[in-house]
Homo-oligomer: A and B are copies of this chain.
Amino acid sequence: MTKTELLRLIKEKSSFLCVGLDPSLEKLPAHLQKGPDPLFEFNKIIIDHTIDFAVAYKPNLAFYEALGPRGLESLEKTLEYIPGGVFTIADAKRGDIGNTSRLYAKAFFERMDFDAVTVAPYMGEDSVMPFLGFQDKWVILLGLTSNFGSLDFQLMKTENGKCLFETVLEKSQKWGNSDNMMYVVGATKGEKIADVRKIVPGHFLLVPGVGAQGGSLEEVAKYGMNKDCGLLVNSSRSIIYASSDKDFGWAAKQEASKLHNTMEDLLEKYCK
């Protein structure tokens, strides 16, 4: 998907909601657990009930790999089920030496046709570049994550006085541009999002951590939105586990709708 198409999508749906498709088998409603493909059946219902409110879906690979080959099948079926024209993100946090990164890129962009994949920056330029060689595909590079471990290295100062994550944002801008690269920036640190915006004014930010991880949507928009919106805000557990009963689809719809209403207001307020 191109940036123009993504912007149109956000405008049409008045939303920048990304739904995290992270189903743990043991947390699924009991009546689904015994079916032939519980993860896919669950995702299907979540997608059906949230598609009016979401511009993107983001399955995290761990939830599928945990089930082995069968889990990957559920993932592939899920991806096929997501209607065309919606942005899809493989949350995989990959990154390896060049020829190996290229294989991961082919897996996510060619075999599975995701629009984007999350990539870890630790191994540097040649571990990221292979993901950038695909038409209309995106790298979403880890910048500042929402977990407390972000204090260990990402927020450590380098000799130039900047934090490591700031250096990652700066250097990586030479590898791609705002048409093929986004950054993961955790929502639990509102004012930090403002620091990020100074370095990457035009890039989209993928913001996890709203809801279960404690971030505030209002803060994210206030500090992170640019004139194009420039945000994809992910919510996973608060939507997909809104109910643990047979009505989980409707409960997910209500949660997604609530977030959508707030997003509509925030787009009106900050993005004109």
Q: Which residues of B contact A103 (CB under 8 A)?
A: 24, 62-63, 65-66
Say whether A149 contacts B124, CB under 8 Å. Answer: yes
The reply to whether A62 and B100 contact each other, CB–CB distance below 8 Å, is: yes
A96: interface (CB < 8 Å): yes
Distance in angstroms from A240 CB to nearest chain B CB is: 14
A72–B68 touching, CB < 8 Å: yes
Stretch with Cβ within 8 A of B (4 or more), from A153-161, A189-197, A218-226, A255-263:
A153-161
Copies in the assembly, this chain = 2
CA distance A45 to B126 in the complex (A): 32
CB–CB B96/A62 < 8 A: yes
Assess the A125–B97 pair: CB atoms within 8 A: no
Chain B interface: which of A33-41, A48-56, A164-172, A199-207?
A164-172
| Interchain CB contact (< 8 A) of A107 among B68, B107, B125, B213 | B68
Assembled-state Cα–Cα distance A96/B146 (Å): 10
Complex contact B124–A152 (CB within 8 A): yes
Question: Contact string, A106-133, partner B, CB cutoff 8 A, digits 1/0?
Answer: 1100011000000011111111100000
Known: A100-B60, A158-B158, A164-B153. A124 touches B148 (CB 8 A): yes
A63, B107: Cα distance in complex, Å? 9
Report yes or no: A62 in contact with B124, Cβ–Cβ below 8 A: no
Q: Which residues of B contact A70 (CB under 8 A)?
A: 69
- By size class, the interface of chain A is 35 or more
Chain B residues in 8 Å Cβ range of A97: 145-147, 213
Closest B-chain residue to A165, C-beta based?
B122
Is A13 engaged at the interface, CB distance under 8 Å to the other chain? no
Contacts of A93 on B, CB cut-off 8 Å?
A: 94-96, 120, 123
A215 interfacial contact with B, CB 8 Å = no
Q: Are A157 and B156 in touch, CB under 8 angstroms? A: no
Asked if A76 CB lies within 8 Å of chain B CBs, one says: yes
CA–CA, A107 to B71, complex, Å? 11
**A164 CB contact (under 8 Å) in B65, B66, B148, B164:** B164
Please name 25 pairs of A and B residues whose Cβ atoms are closer than 8 Å in the assembled complex, sorted by A. A22-B100, A60-B96, A62-B100, A62-B104, A65-B104, A66-B103, A66-B106, A68-B111, A69-B76, A72-B72, A93-B94, A93-B95, A93-B120, A97-B146, A98-B147, A121-B122, A121-B152, A122-B122, A123-B149, A123-B154, A124-B153, A125-B148, A126-B149, A156-B167, A158-B164
